[in-house]
Each structure stands twice: as structure tokens, then as C-alpha cells.
Amino acid sequence: MKQVIESYGMFLLDAVLIGLLFLLLSVGIKDDEGNRGVFSVIGAGLEAAETENKVYREFDVFLNEAGREAPTIIYQNTGIVYTGVFVVSDQIKARDADGVKLPVRLLAVSTPGTDGMFSPVPSETEEVEFINPGIYRLKVTAVDARRKRTTVIIPVPVNERRI
């Protein structure tokens, strides 16, 4: 025990002194206005910042924009789709929350027999060639003027053309 006190005694004494000094600074100092502690005395001398209402107005705008609905994408074909060329913009339409028509962009295509794996397509692609019958899945997206995005996967059943 004697060796512990000799080795760590000065450390313990320093820790107790620092603790007492901190206690003295946080409670022992008092000014004329009744503020007790260093932080309260210094804080009383600082000027309080005024809240600016512009921040709250901007938050209201943010809430309105965040609550806005994302674009709606609709597959409009009600007939039978046969093998051949499929024009995406003729069959798939998009509208924003205000009802304005939006361009639809084809992102990827999943062909029958690929186990749902999508193959990306170039960004300019507006047509898909259905070579074999089966269920093709088209991944399309639409973005409105406020950058709200909707991405959907549309299954397109394709039948073989019989002449």
C-alpha cells in the first residue's frame, strides 16, 4: 500500500486539487447581479442573439416541397403487345403533381429467361426490340421540375406475332 501511495499519491493529490478548483470556478464565483459560477457570469455579459424568422419561413417552404407528390408513371397499353419494336414514349406516360406531362426515360430492360437481371440501356434509348415472347420488365424513371423522381418496373407481356 505504501508503494501505491508513493507512486500515485501526487496524481491523486493533483486530481483532488483540480476537482476543487473546478468546483470553485463553477459555484464559488458570484457577481453583483446574483449570477453564480464562471459560465453564468460570463454569459450575463454576452448579448443574446435575436431569432431570425426567415429560417422558419424557409423551413415551411421545405415542408411544402417535401410534401409534394412525386411524378406518376402509367403504362397505358391495354392491348396485346407482340414481338417487334416497342416505343416506350408511346406506351408509358408520366405526369407531375400539377398534371404536367413529363418525359419518361428507360433505364434498363429485363428479358425473359434472365431471372430478373436487368441490362442497362443507353440514356437516349426510346425503343426496345422484343425478339422473343415472354414477360419483359422495363425499368423507367421520370423527374419533375423540382427534381422529384419516380422509378418503377413495368412488366410487359409479349406474345409471338402470328400471321
Q: What's the whole-number mean pLDDT along residues 72-77?
A: 91
Q: Which residues contact 157 (CB under 8 A, 6 or more apart)?
A: 81, 134, 135
pLDDT at 79: 84
Max avg pLDDT among 5-9, 40-44, 111-115, 151-155: 151-155
Q: Which residues contact 125 (CB under 8 A, 6 or more apart)?
A: 88, 106
Q: Are the beta carbons of 125 and 85 closer than 8 angstroms? A: no
Residue tagged 449570477 (cell numbers): 35
Q: Are the beta carbons of 136 and 110 closer than 8 angstroms? A: yes
11-40: pLDDT as tens digits: 888 888 998 887 777 776 777 777 777 777
Can you give the C-alpha Rg of the chain in angstroms?
35
Q: What string of DSSP letters covers 107-152?
A: EEEE-TTSTT--EE--TT--EEEE-SSEEEEEEEEEE-TT--EEEE
Q: What is the rounded average pLDDT for all residues in the chain?
A: 84
- Structural domains in the chain? 2-48 (no CATH), 72-159 (2.60.40.1080)
- The percentage of the chain sitting over the pLDDT mark of 70, rounded to a whole number, equals 95
Residue 47 dihedral angles phi and psi, to the nearest 5°:
-85, 130
